Structure 1
Amino acid sequence: MKKKLHIVFAALFTAVILTACGEDSELTRFRKSIDSFCTRISEIDSSINHIDAESEEATTELLSYLDDLDNTFRTFAELDFPAEFDYLENLADESSEYMTEAVKNYHQAYGGDEYDESTAEYAKQNYSRAYKRIQIIISFLHGEEPTDPDLTIEYQTE
């Protein structure tokens, strides 16, 4: 899971670095928002990876960071995408919904008296779905067509 996150963050960071002279302010604000999103996700990822698993507070810390992650994804979904990227807003909304479901289930899996493996697995699947949508968004923002066998792209002609 760590490697996947690092790949996602590298892609997100690369997308943010792409800037152009003479952009309109809406696109500039959007790119700054994407940059903030990527930075925050990277910070949360780093914090999660530095949790001492042997600590008595490990579960509490993890769940707190996951709550932060959920809030960050919600904020991302609330972004107003510029007209040329409007078609990606639905994916941003879906990524947030999947992250919310993941975090809710991580709380259930770790929050009880005993660890619930099946709920944690369901949470992990939703977590992956959320990040997959972010990867797709970043690919399109790069001007690339994602190469995912589960993705169907429909082109509209004018």
Structure 2
Amino acid sequence: MKNKILAITAGLLTAMALTACGKDPELTQFREEIDAFCTEISNIDTSINNVDAESDNAADELLGYLDQLDQDFKDFAALDFPTEFDYLESMADEASEYMTTAVQSYHDAFSNGGYNQLTADYAKENYARAYKRIQIIITFLHGEQPEDVNLTTEEATEEASSAE
């Protein structure tokens, strides 16, 4: 959750930073698209956090929001990055692929009226990987070097350590 908020905040800061780059229409359009993406994932995150877990339709409501999130990640990956940021497009594609896998896995975890914890854990890991890539992209767009460009999430690192 905190990582998503950081990504959104960084995205909004990036949008402001890109505005300062001049009146380049390509950068202005890209800034607007990044801003729209960050706003939309923030709205979906708020909606997900407001799902009443005790509700009879909580799983369906959650899955609906996740489907929206998956589409937003696909739209983000389809953005035409300005030339100076072309190197980030493959990471945007990876983020979208991880989110799609996460959402499909969440659907599987809640299938047949039950709940499969192992599938949900797999979904959560892919979800974290998708957001980690977004955070790295936004950090680069902000003109900074990410401190941790290791694309393995903390959860995957902890699992690997405990398996040794």
TM surpasses 0.5: yes
Q: Does the C-alpha gap of structure 1 residues 48 and 23 become closer, same or farther in structure 2, counting only changes over 3 Å?
A: same
Q: Which is worse superposed, 109-118 or 121-130?
A: 109-118
Deviations 1:57-91 (A, max 9, x none): 11000000000000000000000000000000000
Deviations 1:3-33 (A, max 9, x none): 2222222222221222126321011100100
Q: Does the C-alpha gap of structure 1 residues 17 and 6 become closer, same or farther in structure 2, counting only changes over 3 Å?
A: same
CA distance, structure 1, for counterparts of residue 127 and residue 78 of structure 2: 19
Q: How many residues align?
A: 150
State the partner residue of 2:67.
67
CA distance, structure 2, for counterparts of residue 114 and residue 21 of structure 1: 51
Find the residue that maps to 2:20 and give its secondary structure: coil
CA RMSD of aligned residues (A): 1.2
Structure 1: gaps of 5 or more residues: 152-158
State the partner residue of 1:156.
none
Q: Does the C-alpha gap of structure 1 residues 149 and 26 become closer, same or farther in structure 2, counting only changes over 3 Å?
A: closer
The reply on whether 1:147 has 2:147 as its aligned counterpart is: yes
Q: Which has the higher contact order (CA 8 A, sep 6+)?
A: 2
Percent pairwise identity: 59
Find the residue that maps to 1:51 and give its secondary structure: coil
State the partner residue of 1:17.
16
State the partner residue of 1:131.
131
State the partner residue of 1:155.
none
CA distance, structure 1, for counterparts of residue 74 and residue 100 of structure 2: 8
Structure 2: gaps of 5 or more residues: 152-164
Q: TM-score, normalised by structure 1?
A: 0.91
Q: Is the 8 A contact 2:106 2:120 kept in 1?
A: yes
State the partner residue of 1:84.
84
State the partner residue of 2:6.
7
CA distance, structure 2, for counterparts of residue 36 and residue 149 of structure 1: 25
State the partner residue of 1:154.
none
More helix by share: 2
